[in-house]
């Protein structure tokens, strides 16, 4: 019995000794290389793919582009929504000084007019009344002027009393005021000084109809009258806008107010012309926040010689507020990211691209700052990195095998 127990124990020891000595050694995990565009017979399981190997043919097809990680000047900026508006001094609403009937119209909507150009003529009997007031006041003015001179001469000769002199002087000042007011009224309905002088010399001159003239050069945006129509002095007959220059009003949030100053460089972009960049500078910063949006108005002015920009277009304004700071950067297009990491593809040699995790800082003007993960001068993929990323992820889904 004792001999049987010993034999059993020896058998167990022999069994374990045999199988343990024949256990295959574990292979060390190595970094894998994913080869695209070529056959690969290596089918070992691997934990992670870090490199992508491309054949010359694949590189040519993918049209990859590269750039070096290096120090670049960073420009910090604010992006803000904006609206293009007419400049107030280059916009005019025109009406008639008096009520009347439209006799002639010389322009249409969309026409370009020059400052002083006649747009329309208005007929009204009030013009005759204004003429009569002027002639009456002129006669009274000339009479009181002559009377004052006569009374003054008598007063200085001690023939007339001081009271008579003062009364004549008061009558003259009153007549002078009425005459100047009547003259100003004639001027207000469009009569030139030349016509007014001629009227004073010859009261039989027939006054012209009232002429509506353009006070500025620009385009007729609105025309609200027709020939024969009776109009009132309160109506707007024409609207003219000169759009050779325009305001761009941007809405800046409260947190960004300290970053904006007069004279700062501004770039303006529009949806209508996305390939055009309009450069200007800040000319005005508002003092009151909008109660609705909690923003202030920041204004710039744009030249528009071709008149392609239109009032009330929506646009985007880029306001630069920090210059001259050099940071270690790559183009933003080089950086791929997912929920867990950000990475780039570094050129190892002509055909191998290494996935490299990076830590990023600020982004500005198409660049992103690299805080860690790259060395200066390393070449990274800036166009086509998404394809390399897709191939790596595809390989992982297939169980980590290299194809």
**Residue 141 shares a structural domain with residue 212:** yes
In a domain, 336, yes or no: yes
pLDDT at 18 (0 to 100): 40
**Residue 110 shares a structural domain with residue 182:** yes
CATH number reported for the structural domain that contains residue 202 in this entry: 2.40.50.100
**Residue 102 shares a structural domain with residue 228:** yes
**Residue 367 shares a structural domain with residue 280:** no
CATH number reported for the structural domain that contains residue 62 in this entry: 2.40.420.20
**Residue 317 shares a structural domain with residue 331:** no
In a domain, 9, yes or no: no
Last residue of a domain, one of 267, 301, 324: 324
Cα distance between residue 232 and residue 229, in whole Å: 10
**Residue 135 shares a structural domain with residue 252:** no
In a domain, 21, yes or no: no
CATH number reported for the structural domain that contains residue 294 in this entry: 2.40.30.170
**Residue 230 shares a structural domain with residue 264:** no
Write down the pTM of the prediction: 0.59
Range of the domain at 379: 33-74+325-397
pLDDT at 32 (0 to 100): 46
Cβ within 8 Å of residue 58, ≥6 positions away: 36, 37
**Residue 111 shares a structural domain with residue 220:** yes
In a domain, 19, yes or no: no
In a domain, 183, yes or no: yes
pLDDT at 41 (0 to 100): 43
**Residue 106 shares a structural domain with residue 231:** yes
**Residue 246 shares a structural domain with residue 361:** no
Last residue of a domain, one of 198, 221, 241: 241
**Residue 305 shares a structural domain with residue 361:** no
State which H helix or E strand residue 193 sits in. Answer: helix 193-201
pLDDT at 107 (0 to 100): 96
In a domain, 157, yes or no: yes
Domain count, the chain: 3
In a domain, 26, yes or no: no
Residues of the chain with pLDDT under 70: 1-49, 190-208, 323-324, 395-403
Q: What is the 3-state secondary structure (H, E, C) of the chain?
A: CHHHHHHHHHHHHHHHHHHHHCCCCCCCCCCEEEEECCCCCCCCCCCCEEEEEECHHHHHHHCCEEEECEEEEEEEEEEEEEEEEECHHHEEEECCCCCEEEEEECCCCCCEECCCCEEEEEECCHHHHHHHHHHHHHHHHHHHHHHHHHHHHHHHCCCCCHHHHHHHHHHHHHHHHHHHHHHHHHHHCCCCHHHHHHHHHCCCCCCCCEEEECCCCEEEEEECCCCCCEECCCCCCEEEECCCEEEEEEEEEHHHHHHCCCCCEEEEEECCCCCCCEEEEEEEECCCCCCCCCEEEEEEEEECCCCCCCCCCEEEEEEEEEEEEEEEEEEHHHCEECCCCEEEEEECCCCEEEEEECEEEEEECCEEEEEECCCCCCEEEEECHHHHHHHHHHHHHCCCCCC
Last residue of a domain, one of 268, 300, 324: 324
* pLDDT digit string, tens, across residues 320-340: 887 667 888 888 888 888 878
In a domain, 207, yes or no: yes
* pLDDT digit string, tens, across residues 137-192: 888 998 999 988 988 888 888 888 888 888 989 999 999 999 899 888 877 776 66
**Residue 158 shares a structural domain with residue 171:** yes
């Amino acid at each position: 019995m004792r001999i049987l127990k010993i034999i059993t124990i020896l058998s167990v020891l022999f069994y374990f000794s045999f199988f343990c000595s024949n256990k295959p050694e574990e292979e060390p995990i190595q970094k894998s290389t994913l080869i695209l565009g070529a056959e690969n017979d290596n089918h070992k399981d691997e934990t992670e793919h870090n490199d992508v190997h491309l054949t010359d043919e694949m590189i040519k097809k993918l049209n990859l582009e590269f750039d070096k990680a290096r120090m670049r000047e960073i420009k910090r900026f604010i992006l803000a929504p904006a609206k293009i508006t007419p400049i107030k001094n280059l916009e005019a609403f025109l009406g008639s000084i008096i009520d009347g009937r439209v006799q002639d119209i010389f322009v249409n909507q969309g026409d370009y007019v020059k400052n002083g150009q006649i747009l329309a003529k208005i007929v009204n009997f009030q013009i005759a009344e204004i003429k009569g007031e002027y002639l009456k006041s002129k006669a009274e003015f000339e009479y009181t002027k002559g009377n004052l001179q006569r009374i003054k001469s008598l007063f200085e000769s001690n023939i007339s009393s001081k009271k008579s002199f003062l009364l004549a002087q008061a009558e003259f000042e009153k007549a002078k005021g009425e005459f100047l007011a009547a003259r100003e009224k004639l001027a207000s309905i469009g009569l030139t000084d030349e016509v007014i002088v001629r009227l004073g010399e010859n009261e039989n001159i027939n006054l012209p109809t009232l002429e509506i003239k353009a006070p500025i050069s620009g385009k007729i945006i609105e025309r609200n009258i027709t020939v024969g129509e009776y109009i009132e002095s309160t109506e707007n007959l024409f609207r003219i806008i000169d759009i050779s220059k325009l305001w761009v009003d941007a809405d800046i949030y409260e947190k960004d107010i300290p970053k904006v100053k007069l004279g700062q460089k501004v770039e303006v972009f529009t949806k209508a012309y996305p390939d055009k960049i309009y450069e200007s500078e800040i000319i005005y910063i508002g003092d009151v926040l909008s109660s609705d949006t909690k923003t202030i108005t920041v204004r710039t002015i744009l030249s528009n010689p071709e008149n392609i920009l239109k009032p009330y277009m929506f646009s985007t304004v880029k306001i630069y507020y920090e210059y001259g700071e050099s940071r270690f950067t790559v183009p933003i297009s080089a950086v791929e990211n997912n929920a867990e990491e950000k990475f780039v593809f570094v050129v190892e040699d002509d055909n191998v691209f290494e996935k490299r995790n990076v830590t990023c800082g600020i982004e500005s003007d198409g660049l992103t700052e690299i805080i860690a993960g790259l060395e200066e001068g390393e070449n990274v993929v800036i166009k086509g990195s998404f394809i390399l990323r897709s191939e790596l992820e595809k390989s992982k889904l297939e169980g980590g095998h290299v194809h």
